[in-house]
Structure 1
């Protein structure tokens, strides 16, 4: 899977996720601010660490 597709899939998942963003942040280790900016598309070049943390949370 290419990194762009990985990024797009995670962003799509985050937008569709019903779990409150505060809970996702607490359980994934990513900040609420980063998650909100990422979900809204403000962050164009996310760090791999944050993407992996979010991916691990989404796939547990």
Structure 2
């Protein structure tokens, strides 16, 4: 008998089982509401991500 372990990257993997993921409570007034840069904040040349990741582990 063998088992296969599939591992995949996921931004939601770390939130499984958590009741509170992100909370803006006591310190939310400290967040700056304005941007302090005069240039674009998003690099459009890097919008296309060519990313492939996969791991297959076989063990006995």
What TM-score do you get using the length of structure 1 for normalisation?
0.17
Higher Cα Rg: structure 1 or 2?
Answer: 2
Higher helix share: 1
What TM-score do you get using the length of structure 2 for normalisation?
0.17
Higher strand share: 2
User: Higher relative CO (CA 8 A, sep ≥ 6), structure 1 or 2?
Assistant: 2
